[in-house]
Amino acid sequence: MNFGINTFLYASPFTTKNSSLFSKFKKWGFDSVELAIEDPSHIDPSKVLKAANKAKLKIGSVCAAMGPGRDFRGTASEQKTAMVYLKALVDQAVLLHSPIVAGPIYSLVGKADAVEKNQQKKEWALVVKNLKVLAKYAHQRHITLCVEPLNRFETDFLNTVDQALQLVKAVNSPALKIHLDTFHMNIEEKHLGASIVKTGKHLGHLHACGSDRGTPGGDHTDWKSIAKALKAIGYQGDVVIESFTTDVKVIARAAAIWRTIEPSRDNIAKNGVRFLKRTLC
């Protein structure tokens, strides 16, 4: 099991120059970094990889940012825009020696409304169709896609493990797995450990953060049940801290971080990775 950190805690957008953060992450005890790439043009993959290698830090995953215009259940134009963006992330993952592209790779984040049953079926079919194409593209390049359920306030499309398992079954590709996030699970799942066990072999990626988006371990999340469940399914993937503060204004607004949750983002990173290693290993 590797322990990583998502770059959204420190930068939005992440650019090549932000690779200077890598040595600090390694010093604090992280094994890997998750690059949140909002636009592929923001980075030079060769330079970013060189910086990661110098810091002896693995680029464990590339995190998709599904912003405006990127929507597999939207208009034809939005579907095309999403496909171009996500294929570009797959291509960059190859260059970055990252095995995973993760996130809500199905729809625009924040698109949440009561949708009629017939419309739900149409949108489901569109997402499955597009993910089949993307998964085939990723599989040919030895990249795994990990699709992330979000909470009800951020999407009406995919909220639970049960829905994610249905989506994986419908797409039916060895390149598609599930990406779980403890923050979203705390809202949507009845029991976190049981949900992880249910995900089983389909779990490809895990985000860990406090129930308030703060430090893992400084919250009411049932981390003991998570640890037990991960051991039960033999999970060996990355566990990535994806917490937010008010320091990065764009992300703070997107994640509704209106107040100081922790003393500093460095506290989240350093205390979080120590807690996760102590608890999950």
Report d(CA 168, CA 205) in Å as an integer: 14
Structure confidence at residue 210 (pLDDT): 95
- H runs (alpha helix) in 56-145: 76-95, 117-140
Per-residue model confidence (pLDDT) at position 265: 95
Which token pair is 218? 């400084």
Q: What angle do CA 281, 269, 15 make, to 5 degrees?
A: 120
Task: Note the pLDDT of residue 159.
Answer: 98
Q: Where are the domains of the chain?
A: 2-280
Return the structure tokens found at 146: 């990990």
Is-contact 149 188, C-beta < 8 A? yes
pLDDT for the residue 104? 98
Which residues make Cβ contacts (< 8 Å) with residue 88, sequence separation at least 6? 40
What predicted TM-score, i.e. pTM, was given to this entire model? 0.96
Give the CA angle between residues 257, 8, 139 to the nearest 5°: 130
Q: Which residue has the tokens 């994640």?
A: 255
pLDDT by residue (tens digit) across 229-277? 999 999 999 999 999 888 888 888 888 888 988 889 999 999 999 999 9
- State residue 136's pLDDT score: 98
Q: Return d(Cα 63, Cα 266) in angstroms, integer.
A: 21
Rounded to the nearest 10 degrees, the angle between the axes of helix 76-95 and helix 117-140 is 30
Place of tokens 């496909």: 83
Q: Whole-angstrom Cα distance, residue 39 to residue 237?
A: 25
Rounded CA-CA distance 132/176 in Å is: 9
CB within 8 Å of 9: residues ≥ 6 apart: 241, 242, 243, 244, 245, 248, 265, 268, 269
* pLDDT tens string 165-219: 999 999 999 999 999 999 999 999 999 999 999 999 999 999 999 999 999 999 9
Instruction: Find the mean pLDDT for residues 152-177.
Output: 98
- The Cα 51–Cα 201 span in angstroms is 32
Could you tell me if 273 and 29 are in contact, meaning their C-beta atoms sit under 8 angstroms apart? yes
Residue 58 has pLDDT above 90, yes or no: yes
Helix (H) or strand (E) run with residue 270 in it: helix 265-280
pLDDT confidence bin for 280, thresholds 50/70/90: very high
Structure token digits, residue 149: 């359920």
Cα angle 52, 19, 17 (rounded to 5 degrees) comes to: 145
Q: What sections of 103-181 are H helices per DSSP?
A: 117-140, 161-171
- Model confidence at 3, pLDDT cuts 50, 70, 90, reads very high
- pLDDT tens for residues 74-120? 999 999 999 999 999 999 999 999 999 999 999 999 999 999 999 99
Residues 62, 92 contacting (CB under 8 angstroms): yes
- CATH domain 2-280 topology: TIM Barrel (3.20.20)
Task: Name the DSSP letter for residue 217.
Answer: T
